[in-house]
Structure 1
Amino acid sequence: MAGYLTTHVLDTARGRPAAGLAITLFALDGGARRALAEVVTNADGRTDGPILPTEDFAPGPYELLFHAGAWLRAEGLADGGTLFLDEIPIRFGLAEDAHYHVPLLLSPYGYSTYRGS
Structure 2
Amino acid sequence: MSAARLVIRTTIASPNPVFTLMSGCTLATTSASAPASESAADMVFTFASPSEDFYNQAKNIRQIDVYTISGNMGILAHHAPILNVLKPGVVSVFESDENTKTIFW
TM normalised by structure 1 equals: 0.34
Greater helix share, 1 or 2? 1
Structure with larger Rg = 1
Relative contact order: is structure 1 or structure 2 higher (C-alpha 8 Å, sep ≥ 6)? 1
More strand by share: 2
TM-score by length of 2: 0.36
